């Protein structure tokens, strides 16, 4: 999704902007641009496609001494990914970059066009710069004009603006899309839409709140809040080591992240397991007082981990549980009662739809909890309580280790709640904790397994579709397996409950329909097997994943014999991730940055 960077200072502005954008690259984008103001002279460059194209265009461009600059990676929403639609957008003598959506841009644009203003792009963003210049014409003061412009915008945005009328200043505003500013002892100011571009550059950062706006110059950082009150920055320190992961010999970040799962799950378990108790120091037990239902809400892969959680909460903790897709929940006028704990799940903590549901739940007076991978993200700052998943920075757009740690957290949390509610006896709890300790081993990728999947993948590059099927928690895993394949191979895949195939999809069965069957030994094995046999009898090509050899399968990927179905879950999770990876690689796709997708979706 779109990314913003900004810089004010006397160092190499071009390089700082470009390397900041590089840090945001993994979020997904289709064009990029920068604008730099030095003295009263602007230089702006834009390019479609990857950042190397922008680097190439700016090869000859240098700055000398103090400058202000803004940069952007764009993930197209309004208008195609063209150079004209790429940010920064120019007015007469100002440039703007923006994340989010200006919902009333058509009204604003129509009025501006009626006054004779010419628009170059199809974007919503361009209205900001023209509206600003209109206001500047009347107000004769850049900050007054900027403040007025902000009041005229509806929607969600984070924006930076630079103008010749105040050449050593960057104006900023944040409403609904994340943005932070960093400072250092040399008086430099750095902006970005997430932490990573600022690491190593700024020691202290201020995360803007919704409604914050203001400006920076050499000497000042001036912030007004949504009530137009001057506020002091709330600085927090930022890690100093560059987290920007390197591929360490792996072909893709996704591959590296699959291999990292054992370590990051061990981190996620660390300090949280005792012999007969789960410990979440970050939670106050009173969070669960008076709670009769848990409602989980998320998007994408995080939604699949929420579905897994719902099985575990009901099975282990005996608490009623429901799961919602955030974009649906927002607009369906849901009934919310105060005996419900509202849990949002998000790798990034910034997904616009999920964030909005969290706000709704808070406004309705519900207790809220976020399970998240990014500390200081918008959701972490907003929710009453937070559990961090400790997956580390995830760069591959297709989420793997974040999902693995989410499910790990939910397994622990369901046992934690089970203990609070006396729903599981001590022996039962001890047994579960013993199993939890085995997850890191069950997700280790062996050479043998990887080689087998690599070899087998060549048989799955065509066909008219994939069905991943499973029962119980293996149904959300089937959904997740299908999502992974869709995301990076661009082949059509669906996840389906095994028992539901005969109610429609089985009509599609033929040798070109590939069924990826999840057949755990410890959960409804016979039932699931019968469902696969029904498909095999109709000549669907079957790839079975199971610890038990299955002779009706065309292909078979064995997993280790485990003590419990949840360990089988984790073993199979790795298999479906690797299968998607290898199919995508064979198809020659960009595994880490698949077409049309964004890592962090900050628009609804
Ligand atoms: C995007 C990503 C998915 C992710 C979803 C939710 O669509 O491409 O991988 O699952 O957003 O993101 P979140 O950060 O809220 O988990």
Cα gap 264→278, rounded to integer Å: 18
Is residue 346 in contact with ligand 1, taking CB distance under 6 Å?
A: yes
pLDDT digits (tens, 9 = 90+) for 264-278: 999 899 889 988 899
pLDDT digits (tens, 9 = 90+) for 135-157: 999 999 999 999 999 999 998 89
pLDDT surpassing 80 at residue 602: no
pLDDT surpassing 90 at residue 595: no
| Ligand 1 atom nearest to 399, measured from its CA | 9
Q: Which of 312, 362, 355, 359 is nearest to 340 (CA)?
A: 362
pLDDT digits (tens, 9 = 90+) for 433-452: 999 999 999 999 999 999 99
Is residue 299 in contact with ligand 1, taking CB distance under 6 Å?
A: yes
User: Whose alpha carbon is nearest atom 15 of ligand 1?
Assistant: 346
| Ligand 1 atom nearest to 487, measured from its CA | 8
| Domains, in order of start, for the chain | 3-241 (3.60.20.10), 245-443 (3.40.50.10490), 445-595 (3.40.50.10490)
pLDDT surpassing 70 at residue 243: no
The arithmetic mean of pLDDT across residues 209-220, rounded, is 95
Residue 297 annotated to the active site:
no
pTM > 0.85: no
Evaluate whether 43 touches 61 at the Cβ level (below 8 Å): yes
| Ligand 1 atom nearest to 301, measured from its CA | 10
Q: Which two tokens stand for residue 301?
A: 């892969």
pLDDT attached to residue 176: 79
pLDDT attached to residue 244: 45
Q: What is the mean pLDDT of the chain?
A: 93
The arithmetic mean of pLDDT across residues 126-135, rounded, is 96
pLDDT surpassing 90 at residue 320: yes
pLDDT surpassing 50 at residue 351: yes
| Ligand 1 atom nearest to 597, measured from its CA | 8
Strand order in the sheet with 340-346: 320-325, 293-298, 340-346, 367-372, 385-388
Q: Which two tokens stand for residue 518?
A: 């999840």
Cα 347 to ligand 1 centroid, rounded to whole Å: 7
Residue 2 annotated to the active site:
yes
pLDDT digits (tens, 9 = 90+) for 4-54: 999 999 999 999 999 999 988 877 788 999 999 998 899 999 999 989 999
pLDDT digits (tens, 9 = 90+) for 453-512: 999 999 999 878 999 999 999 999 999 999 999 999 999 999 999 999 889 888 888 888
User: How do 221-224 and 212-216 pair as beta strands?
Assistant: antiparallel
Q: Which of 159-163, 533-537, 584-588 has the lowest mean pLDDT?
A: 533-537
Q: Which helix (H) or strand (E) holds 491?
A: none
Is residue 597 in contact with ligand 1, taking CB distance under 6 Å?
A: yes
Is residue 397 in contact with ligand 1, taking CB distance under 6 Å?
A: yes
Cα 597 to ligand 1 centroid, rounded to whole Å: 9
Is residue 301 in contact with ligand 1, taking CB distance under 6 Å?
A: yes
Q: Which of 303, 305, 351, 374 to mutate to test ligand 1, by most ligand atoms within 8 A of the CB atom? A: 351
Cα gap 447→450, rounded to integer Å: 5
pLDDT attached to residue 241: 59
Is residue 389 in contact with ligand 1, taking CB distance under 6 Å?
A: no
Q: What are phi and psi of 97, to 5 degrees?
A: -125, 155
Looking at residue 458, the DSSP 8-state letter turns out to be G
pLDDT attached to residue 240: 64
Cα 167 to ligand 1 centroid, rounded to whole Å: 38
pLDDT digits (tens, 9 = 90+) for 361-413: 999 999 999 999 988 889 999 999 999 998 988 989 999 999 999 999 999 99
Is residue 599 in contact with ligand 1, taking CB distance under 6 Å?
A: yes
Is residue 601 in contact with ligand 1, taking CB distance under 6 Å?
A: yes
Residue 139: how many CB atoms within 10 A of its CB?
A: 16
The arithmetic mean of pLDDT across residues 543-563, rounded, is 94
């Amino acid at each position: 999704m779109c990314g913003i960077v900004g810089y004010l200072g006397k160092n190499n502005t071009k390089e700082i902007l470009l390397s900041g954008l590089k840090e945001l690259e993994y979020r997904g984008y289709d064009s990029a641009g920068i604008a730099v103001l030095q003295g009263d002279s602007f230089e702006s460059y834009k390019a479609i496609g990857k950042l190397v194209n922008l680097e190439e265009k700016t090869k000859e461009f240098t700055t000398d001494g103090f400058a202000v600059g803004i940069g952007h990676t764009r993930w197209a929403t309004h208008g195609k990914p063209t150079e004209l639609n790429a940010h920064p957008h120019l007015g007469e003598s100002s440039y703007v970059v923006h994340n989010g959506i200006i919902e009333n841009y058509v009204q604003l644009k129509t009025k501006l066009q009626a006054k004779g203003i010419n628009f170059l792009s199809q974007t919503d963003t361009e209205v900001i710069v023209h509206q600003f210049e209109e206001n500047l014409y009347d107000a004769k003061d850049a900050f007054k004009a900027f403040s007025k412009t902000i009041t005229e915008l509806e929607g969600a945005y984070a924006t930076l603006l630079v103008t010749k009328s105040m050449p050593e200043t960057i104006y900023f505003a944040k409403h609904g899309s994340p943005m932070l500013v960093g400072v250092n002892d040399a008086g430099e100011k750095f902006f970005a839409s997430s932490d990573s571009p600022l690491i190593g550059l700024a020691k202290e950062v201020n995360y803007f709140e919704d409604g914050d706006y203001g400006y920076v110059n050499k000497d000042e950082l001036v912030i007004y809040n949504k009530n137009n009150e001057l506020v002091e920055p709330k600085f927090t320190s930022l890690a100093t080591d560059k987290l920007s992961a390197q591929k360490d010999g792996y072909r893709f970040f996704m591959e590296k992240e699959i291999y990292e799962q054992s370590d990051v799950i061990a981190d996620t378990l660390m300090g949280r397991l005792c012999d007969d108790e789960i410990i979440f120091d970050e939670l106050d037990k009173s969070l669960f007082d008076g709670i009769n239902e848990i409602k989980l809400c998320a998007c994408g892969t995080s939604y699949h981990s929420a579905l897994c959680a719902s099985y575990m909460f009901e099975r282990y903790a005996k608490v009623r549980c429901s799961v919602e897709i955030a974009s649906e929940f927002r607009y369906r006028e849901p009934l919310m009662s105060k005996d419900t704990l509202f849990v949002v799940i998000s790798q990034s903590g910034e997904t616009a739809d999920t964030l909005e549901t969290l706000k709704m739940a808070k406004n309705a007076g519900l207790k809220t909890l976020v399970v998240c991978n990014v500390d200081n993200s918008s959701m972490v700052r907003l929710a009453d309580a937070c559990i961090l998943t400790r997956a580390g920075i995830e760069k591959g757009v297709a989420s793997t280790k974040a999902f693995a740690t989410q499910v790990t957290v939910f397994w622990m949390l369901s046992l934690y709640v089970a203990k609070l509610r006396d729903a599981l006896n001590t022996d039962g709890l001890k047994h579960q904790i013993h199993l939890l300790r085995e997850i890191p081993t069950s997700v280790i990728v062996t050479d043998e397994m990887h080689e087998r999947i690599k070899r087998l993948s060549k048989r799955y590059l065509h066909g008219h579709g994939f069905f991943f099927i499973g029962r119980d928690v293996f149904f959300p895993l089937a959904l997740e397996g299908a999502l992974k394949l869709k995301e990076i191979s661009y082949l059509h895949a669906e996840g389906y409950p095994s028992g539901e195939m005969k109610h429609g999809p089985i009509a599609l069965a033929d040798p070109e329909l590939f069924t990826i069957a999840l057949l755990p030994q410890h959960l409804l094995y016979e039932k699931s097997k019968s469902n696969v046999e029904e498909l095999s009898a109709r000549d669907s090509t079957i790839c079975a994943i199971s610890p038990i050899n299955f002779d009706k399968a065309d292909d078979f990927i064995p997993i280790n014999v485990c003590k419990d179905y949840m360990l089988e879950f984790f073993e199979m999770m790795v298999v479906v991730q690797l299968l998607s990876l290898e199919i995508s690689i064979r198809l020659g796709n960009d595994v880490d940055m698949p077409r049309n997708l964004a890592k962090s979706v900050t628009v609804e």
